[in-house]
Chains A and B, each alone.
Chain A
């Protein structure tokens, strides 16, 4: 649907985009992640022609949009954008924000525009706010209106530029819920986001942008679990994870402890958290000792800087089994310690593997 080749963009002497090439196919959800200032938003704005690229080409359904003869307004109707700062028309009601474009740009009769718009507002959970004005809404509500406004023009693709970055944490999830729903309904989307868990859940592919290009791309599993390139790994690790694969019951507990302590120090985890985590890991390794005789154990420790919470994920192959089932354990001592240290424990079978996720209780 969209094909970009060797896109470049400079602002004076500053080269923001060096050489970006990519494709977005119909129905795909692409997340674009990366450090600030690496051109993610500039890239989206180039797609939408809010910025004029310095070089390269952009084709939408085979049409070269950089051709002077191309009708830019028509392109923008196919491809709509949701901004970090909502950009609603303050002087228009919520409903009018949605109807103005279909009426003026598509010549839709007012009644039809209003009835379709009301439906969209209901879709994003704001049907009863149709008559209100943007300044009467919370940030999350404004952004949901912005998304509904996008949908009012029936775009083929929606570009979302950090849709939740300006929202306070309590309203982020309501907006992500709407975006998830659009993804489920098959909307093609390109989303610049810092919400990694969300990007992981909702995307078909993830682009990590750095150095003015798409530094690494892959499936969410590839980018978040097994990034191959150095800068991708450094970026991903800031928000998670300590990964170890243990292949034998003769693991070196103290070496593991040293690595976990280094991970905790790197993320400035409180002392109590570090102590609880180390004890939890030792107890869990004891639980897994019988399983290590049969196969490998993959341990992931995830620290969320946002929530200051620590999660550990324990994965083994083999027959379906929850290692914490008390009839598998020699006594209750280890289990009672594990239960005290954690406030949630989730066992499930994923891709023929047993996965146990434990959330460390916060002090």
Chain B
């Protein structure tokens, strides 16, 4: 799994690539924890380069959401498409989270 983070327009954009599955989810959670513990609270996760997600990955995203809620932070998802989008829909995630068409739109929506 690729995990890259950059600061942009007052938030943090996390770019995920590859797979977010039972094998890589622990590493994802560790990295996100680090960022949140470092003080960041407004996140956009960019899914454009993510090829695969399973329920393990979804749970990692839920953990992210809880972490940020506890800190009064915000979380938006950008470029959720293809197979990843399909899994979001299968699991009802599509209605649970804010999905944006692009990182720019997501950043703009972060208040």
Are A286 and B83 also in contact (CB < 8 A) when A336-B90, A336-B92, A341-B90 are? no
**A86–B99 Cα gap in the complex (Å)?**
62
Inter-chain CA distance A332–B23, complex, in Å, is: 20
- CB neighbours (8 Å) of A275 from chain B are 83
CB pair A253 B90 closer than 8 Å: no
Residue of A whose beta carbon sits closest to that of B83 = A275
- Determine the chain A residues whose CB is within 8 A of the CB of B91 once the complex forms: 332-333, 336-337
Contacts of B52 in A (CB 8 A): 278-279
- In the assembled complex, the Cα of A94 lies from the Cα of B21 at a distance in Å of 63
Q: By DSSP majority rule, is chain B's interface helix, strand, loop, or mixed?
A: helix
B55 touches A334 (CB 8 A): yes
A279-B22 contact given A333-B55, A334-B55, A337-B54, CB 8 Å threshold: no
User: Interface code B49-83, partner A: CB below 8 Å = 1, 0 otherwise?
Assistant: 00010111011000000000000000000000001
B87 on interface, CB distance cutoff 8 Å: yes
Instruction: Tell me the nearest residue of chain B to A335, going by C-beta.
Output: B55
Question: Are B23 and A283 in contact (CB-based, < 8 A)?
Answer: no
How many residues of A sit at the interface, in one of the four size bands? 10 to 19
Complex contacts, A11 vs chain B, CB 8 Å: none
By beta carbon, the residue of chain A nearest B89 is: A340
Q: What residues of chain A lie closer than 8 Å to B56, measured between beta carbons?
A: 282, 286
Beta-carbon contact of B87 and A279 below 8 Å: yes
B residues with CB within 8 A of A: 21-23, 52, 54-56, 58-59, 83, 87, 90-92
Q: Known contacts A275-B83, A283-B55, A336-B90; can you find 8 more A-B pairs with CB under 8 A? A: A253-B21, A278-B52, A279-B54, A282-B21, A286-B54, A286-B56, A334-B55, A337-B55
11 sample A-B contacts, Cβ–Cβ < 8 Å, listed by A number:
A253-B22, A279-B52, A279-B87, A282-B22, A332-B91, A333-B91, A334-B55, A337-B54, A337-B55, A337-B90, A340-B90
